Amino acid sequence: MGNGIAHVFAQFDYKVNLIDIQQTALDQALDTIAKNLDRQVSKELLTEEQKAATLKNITTFTSISEGVSTADLIVEAATENVELKLKIFKDLDIYAPADAILASNTSSISITQIAAVTKRGNKVIGMHFMNPVPVIKLVEVIRGYQTSDETTKAIMSLSENLGKVPVEVNDYPGFVANRILMPMINEAIYTLYEGVAGVYEIDTVMKLGMAHPMGPLQLADFIGLDVCLAILKVLHNGFGNPKYAPCPLLINMVAAGKKGTKSGEGFYKYTHGSKELVVSDKFTQS
């Protein structure tokens, strides 16, 4: 998500400092951005000159203090872990300029909780991009309890400047996107777990019958099964409602390291970008 967000800002001529604690991750991010830009060039969405200008707009840092020292906006895109995000925002509050807006790309964690560890709650907001960021138009803008009108208006306007469609929502577990999406994915996993149908069958029903571009199990792989599990836990803990309890099959798959595309296997196996159905009695009836 981080490299996708950096890609979009840089493409629209914003100067971007891309930060990670590991240089190898930054090198990989730049390689991914370059490949995605090549794809845009091949589709005649960008020129070679625009690709070069986009890459030139990105500078990498392995230090938060250096990377955010002159920023007007910081968009955090760390993994969906509450403790990690709170630690990052404490650091951002120290090192970022006092008037900088601090945004989180969190897909479920409370913006109000994140803002509470800073001294600028009025300038903390959710800016939930959808993956792949250069393609999907939606930005879910989450307003925390302390988020000011000024901050909200600034992020709504900025999102439009990036060619996105911002939608303002309030700060409740899962916001809108994942409060609706994750129970659907979880129910699809339960449908598989209880032997109602196989992976291919479930995804085909939803694609052909409900006009979804991809089935819920394939989408879960794409999101990351570990991320799905983390979001469901936030929903379950936040609402205390058993309908959000993650399916045991999802819990076991994550424990076994089957996290979807990122690990090479989830409900499907992935080889060099291709997808094939997992052949296992656990996952399919075919």
Which residues are the active-site residues?
Answer: 107, 128, 140, 178
Output the CA–CA distances (angstroms, integers) from residue 87 to 84, 90, 200, in the order listed: 5, 5, 41
Q: Are 103 and 74 in contact (CB under 8 A)?
A: yes
Please check whether residue 140 is in contact with residue 126, taking contact to mean a CB–CB distance below 8 angstroms: yes
CB neighbours of 147 closer than 8 A, spacing ≥ 6? Answer: 111, 115, 121, 122, 123, 124, 125
Report the chain's terminal Cα–Cα distance, integer Å.
34
Question: What are the E-state strand segments in 96-230?
Answer: 101-104, 124-129, 138-143, 165-170
Rounded-to-integer distance, Cα 268 and Cα 220, Å? 10
Whether residue 120 contacts residue 68, with contact meaning beta carbons closer than 8 Å, is answered with no
Is residue 156 within 8 A of residue 150, CB to CB? The reply is no
DSSP 108-147: SS-HHHHHTTSS-GGGEEEEEE-SSTTT--EEEEEE-SS-
Q: Name the nearest CA neighbour of 192 among 211, 218, 210.
A: 218
Distance from chain centroid for Cα 95: 24
Rounded-to-integer distance, Cα 89 and Cα 68, Å:
12
The three-state secondary structure class of 73 is: strand
